[in-house]
């Protein structure tokens, strides 16, 4: 399998729901236990109706989770304005590999890999091939503006971007939390939200929110964001969904809740790229 291939996974909705539920149950790096999120008021247009931040009572142990540490290391590697070309240093490239290595070494990613093997999309249990696919899918640079290679799927989804003064992407709770703590993001309210209950050990699983916020002096009017899921399960869910149902709504099941994950791809000079992936509630 290569990301440029056009084949998709043949799987029933029931089979995929069972798979994603098992991934949530095995998500040992789930971070919902390290903080509370305070939804406050439902949105009222573009008004800021929330006096307090979304994320509160943050336990610093959150930042000792291995995949969280590797994700945070990537936060300062990108220019948010898509018209500015990205200059990826050797150190930054290594941080990309380190993040993928840490994710692939988790039980969640092992489940995803075994599923792809069972569907004939991976020919062996060789992790190096899987890692190459993930790196190509998430970190290959491409243009979103004026043919300038100023974007990639990872930056768009796990961080955020600015195009013509508008916030684009920004679908990850950890970047939201970090920017909010620095005072660089202002939470305005939410449209819809729900939680995923607790796992078999009695720990909270997190949830999902559709929110409105201000970042980089611009309003993001709506953004679907999982809350508290580990980096590896988000990476796995989005990866599987773009392979299962690219450019469409892919239904996953988490804590008994059905959520559509929307993905978009595009082709440039004969190569396929992942544009975005996010929970659409």
- CA–CA distance, 254 with 176 (Å, rounded to integer): 21
What are the residues whose beta carbons fall under 8 Å from the beta carbon of 245, sequence distance 6 or more? 8, 263
Q: Residue 10 — pLDDT band, cuts 50, 70, 90?
A: confident
- CA–CA distance, 93 with 74 (Å, rounded to integer): 9
Percent of the chain with pLDDT over 90: 83
Residue 31 in this model has a pLDDT that exceeds 70: yes
What are the residues whose beta carbons fall under 8 Å from the beta carbon of 5, sequence distance 6 or more? none
Choice among 70, 168, 171, 245 that is catalytic? 171
- CA–CA distance, 261 with 277 (Å, rounded to integer): 7
DSSP H stretches of helix in 193-279? 231-244
- CA–CA distance, 78 with 149 (Å, rounded to integer): 12
What average pLDDT score do residues 96-103 get?
A: 98
pLDDT in tens, 208-219: 999 999 999 999
Mean pLDDT of the chain: 94
Q: Is 231 within 8 Å of 71 (Cβ atoms)?
A: yes
- CA–CA distance, 40 with 190 (Å, rounded to integer): 8
The pLDDT value given to residue 145 = 74
Choice among 70, 168, 220, 245 that is catalytic? 220
| Residue 272 is among the residues annotated as catalytic for this protein | no
Choice among 156, 168, 245, 272 that is catalytic? 156
Please list the residues that pair with 231 across neighbouring strands. Answer: none
- CA–CA distance, 81 with 173 (Å, rounded to integer): 20
**Global confidence as pTM:** 0.96
The pLDDT value given to residue 201 = 79
Q: Domains of the chain: which residue ranges?
A: 13-280
| Residue 156 is among the residues annotated as catalytic for this protein | yes
| Residue 75 is among the residues annotated as catalytic for this protein | no
Q: Residue 6 — pLDDT band, cuts 50, 70, 90?
A: low
């Amino acid at each position: 399998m290569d990301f440029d291939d056009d084949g998709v996974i043949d799987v029933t909705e029931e089979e995929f729901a069972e798979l994603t539920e098992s991934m949530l149950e095995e998500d040992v790096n789930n971070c919902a236990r390290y903080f509370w999120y305070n939804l406050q008021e439902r949105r009222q247009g573009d008004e800021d109706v929330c006096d307090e931040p979304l994320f509160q009572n943050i336990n610093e142990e959150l930042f000792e989770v291995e995949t969280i540490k590797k994700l945070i290391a990537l936060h300062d590697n990108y220019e948010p304005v898509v018209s500015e070309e990205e200059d990826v240093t050797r150190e930054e490239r290594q941080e990309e590999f380190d993040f993928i290595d840490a994710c692939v070494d988790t039980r969640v990613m092992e489940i995803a890999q075994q599923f792809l093997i069972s569907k004939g999309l991976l020919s062996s249990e060789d992790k190096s091939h899987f890692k190459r696919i993930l790196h190509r899918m998430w970190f290959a640079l491409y243009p979103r503006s004026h043919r300038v290679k100023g974007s990639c799927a990872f930056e768009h989804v796990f961080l955020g971007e600015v195009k013509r003064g508008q916030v684009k992407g920004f679908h990850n709770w950890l970047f939201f939390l970090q920017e909010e703590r620095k005072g660089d993001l202002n939470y305005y309210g939410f449209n819809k939200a729900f939680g995923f209950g607790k796992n078999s050990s009695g720990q909270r699983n997190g949830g999902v929110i559709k929110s409105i916020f201000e970042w980089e002096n611009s309003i993001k009017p709506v953004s679907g964001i999982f809350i508290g899921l580990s980096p590896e399960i988000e990476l796995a869910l989005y990866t599987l969904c773009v392979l299962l149902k690219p450019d469409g709504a892919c239904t996953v099941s988490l804590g008994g809740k059905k959520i559509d994950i929307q993905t978009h791809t595009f082709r440039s000079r004969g190569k396929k790229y992942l544009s975005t992936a996010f929970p659409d509630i």
